[in-house]
Amino acid sequence: MLNSFDELKLKWIEKIHLYYRPTHIKRYFPYYIGITAIGFYTLYRIYTNKHEIYNYFSSTYDSLKFFLNEHLIIPLKTIYTSTFGERSIHTTYENSQLNYTNSKKILEEMLEDYGHQHARTLAQVNNLSVEEFLASLNEHATNEDMNIVMKNYQQEMNSPIRAALFGDLIKGILIQVQKVKVDGEGLIIQIDQLMKQNQINFSILATIPAILIITFVTIATKNIVSDRVINRRKFDLTTIREQIIRILREIEHILIFNNEMPALTINNQELIVVEHSDNENGDQQNTMTYLTFGHFLSHIYELKYFTKQLKSKRMLSKEFNDDIDLLTHPQLSPEQKLLIIQQIYHSYSFLVHS
């Protein structure tokens, strides 16, 4: 009999061991195997493609560096130089202006010498006397009037070989070259002035892409920090749901056992006094005392604290908070506020379904 009992006990223990709760390793062993295999495969792929990965990161770094240089560093340096480096720029401009003035003066002297040398011929061409032509020669030379040269130059082109050997064809060509030089220097000075005036504008336009990206990254970082750190939920949804139901139940009890609100009520975070009419006829026995009303307000604020923790559009957190604000409305009776609580229960499913 005892032997049979021992055998039965051993069989019973064996049977129990077949259905006992497995250890943590046994339960999650396939997951550990899968995660380890994925990890080794990932490391293998990284090792076999290390050159491609290095090239990818290098090209990304070079692209980012080029973008920052072209759209942030160089434009900012240009703006700084244009704003605070006026002395060197002004010196360069003065040198260019001095070269232009000297070239223009040389051209005037060349035109005046050429006019004096061919005064008789040029006076006949212009139907003027020699004295009249010489009187106006200085003004024409100052105005860089090339007619002084071109009219005589046109006549000499009729016999270019003779003019080149015995005339002033070469001198006329050199005067025209000097004229082109003066015009070129004047044009360069005008272009430099225009570029200098618009240099800051071009630099500001070049920084717009970098400013947009920096603004986007700053806003995204601010939102992430605000959502994940500053405005992070202090409680899980289950705890919030339980606390909201508990507080609503206590508020509902206060409203059920009190027929009337006291003379004090709250509106927009301010305590105000509501005057009751003298001809009110009702049972004042169940009027809410100031102490009870204080409990009521403390429950309201506690409820708003938990409802603000929801932060979910799916749960209609904004609408939920708006409904809670109605519980402090001074024009609503306790019966109406009870109806609001009932409306809250059947409007927000997360209060019913966990």
Domain annotation covers residue 7? no
| Phi and psi angles of residue 309, each rounded to the nearest 5 degrees, phi first | -80, -10
Rounded Cα–Cα distance for residues 280 and 288 (Å): 16
Domain termination site, one of 206, 226, 249? 206
What's the structural domain count of the chain?
2
Can you name the residues that pair with 272 across neighbouring β-strands?
A: 265
Residues 250 and 332 in one domain: yes
Which contiguous run of DSSP H or E holds residue 286?
none
Q: Do 71 and 210 touch, CB atoms closer than 8 A?
A: yes
Q: Partners of 287 in the beta sheet?
A: 260
Q: Does residue 108 sit within a domain?
A: yes
Write the CA distances from 150 to 146, 154, 283, integer angstroms. 6, 6, 120
Element (H, E) at 232: none
The residue type found at 325 is D
Same domain (yes/no): 91, 202: yes
Q: Is residue 213 part of a domain?
A: no
Which residue bears the tokens 């004096």? 116
Q: Are residues 191 and 241 in the same domain?
A: no
Say if 6 falls within a structural domain: no
Q: Could you tell me if residue 267 is inside a domain? A: yes
Domain assignment present for residue 247? The answer is: yes
Contact present, 243 and 308 (Cβ < 8 Å): no
pLDDT at 344: 82
- CB atoms under 10 Å from CB of 334, counted, come to 19
- CA dist., res. 258 & res. 289, Å (int): 9
Residue 191 lies in a domain: yes
- Confidence at residue 272, expressed as pLDDT on a 0 to 100 scale: 44
Q: Are residues 241 and 294 in the same domain?
A: yes
Distances (CA, A) of 144 to 48, 111, 140: 75, 8, 6
Residue with tokens 């009999």: 1
Nearest CA to 71 out of 200, 218, 219, 211 is that of 211
pLDDT along the chain (354 residues), means of 10: 68 72 79 93 92 92 90 86 66 76 84 79 75 80 76 66 61 80 84 77 86 90 72 69 85 78 48 43 57 83 79 66 80 82 77 60
Are 258 and 153 in a shared domain? Answer: no
Nearest by Cα to 146 from 103, 120, 119, 114: 114
Please indicate, yes or no, whether residues 97 and 171 belong to a single structural domain of this protein. yes
> Are 149 and 102 part of one and the same domain?
yes
Q: Is residue 31 part of a domain?
A: no
Please tell me whether residues 159 and 267 are part of one structural domain: no
Which of 206, 228, 252 lies at the terminal end of a domain, its last residue?
206
Q: Residues 100, 182: contact at Cβ < 8 Å? A: yes
**Would you state the pLDDT for residue 85?**
63
Written as six digits, the tokens of 178 are: 């000097």
User: 158 is in which domain, residue-wise?
Assistant: 86-206
pTM: predicted TM-score of the whole model, two decimal places: 0.40
Q: Do 172 and 102 share a structural domain?
A: yes
Task: State the CB neighbour count (10 A cutoff) for residue 104.
Answer: 19
- Tally of CB atoms within 10 A around 10: 10
Instruction: Determine contact, residues 186/180, Cβ cutoff 8 Å.
Output: no
Concatenating the DSSP letter of every residue in 43-89 gives HHHHHHTHHHHHHHHHHHHHHHHHHHIIIIIHHHHHHHHHHH-HHHH
Q: d(Cα 135, Cα 129) in Å, to the nearest integer?
A: 10
Cα dihedral 91, 93, 94, 96 in deg (nearest 10): 130
Task: Please check whether residues 170 and 241 belong to one and the same domain.
Answer: no
- Domain end point (choices 186, 206, 226): 206
Same domain, 100 and 202: yes
Whether residues 145 and 201 share a domain: the answer is: yes
Burial string for 155-182 (b: 16+ CB within 10 Å, else e) reads ebeeeeeebeeebbbebbeebeebbebb
